[in-house]
Amino acid sequence: MSLQGQYDPSNIFAKILRGEMPCAKVYEDDHVLAFMDVFPQSRGHTLVIPKSSEARNFLEESPERLGGLMLGVQTVARAVRAALEPDGLVITQFNGAAAGQTVFHLHFHIIPRWEGQAIGRHASGGMADPGELRVLAAEIAARI
C-alpha cells in the first residue's frame, strides 16, 4: 500500500478500538489506546494508537491530534522504562508499505532494548502468548 489511499475501517487496530478484537491493554485516555504487540520484537513491545483518527500514517494526522498522541506515546514509554528497566527504548513509526508499515492505522512502536540482546524483525516473529502479554501489560500499566 502506498502513502496515498483510503482508510480501511476493517483494519485490526480499528477492530480493537471498536471492541471487536481483544488486546492486552496497557493504557487508555481520551486520545490514545496502548496495548501489547502480539508479534513482539522484544519483551514489552507496546503499541500506541490514536483513538479518534482515520489517519493511515503520520503524514495524514491532523496537527490538532498530534499533541495528545505524542503525550500518550511518552507516557507509555516512561512506564515501559520504569517497569522493565531496559538499557534503551526504540520509539518508531512506519509510513507506507515500502517503509515497513503492515497495519494502515497510525501507530507508534515502543520497543525495549537490552545490551547484547537482538530484537526480532518487524512483523515477522511468532505470536506471543496472550497470558504473558496480559502480565506484561499489567506490569507496565502499574507504572502509569
Question: Among 133, 136, 137, 84, which Cα is nearest to 112's?
Answer: 84
Q: In angstroms, what is the C-alpha Rg of the chain? A: 14
Break the chain into its structural domains and give their ranges.
12-141
Return the pLDDT at 120: 85
pLDDT tens for 24-43 read 999 999 999 999 999 999 99
Q: Give the pLDDT band of residue 1 (cuts 50, 70, 90).
A: low
- The yes-or-no verdict on residue 13 having pLDDT over 90 is yes
Residue range 12-141 in CATH 3.30.360.10: no
Burial class (CB in 10 A: 0-12, 13-18, 19+), 98: exposed
Catalytic site positions: 107
Q: Which residues contact 77 (CB under 8 A, 6 or more apart)?
A: 89, 91, 110
Cell of 72: 500518550
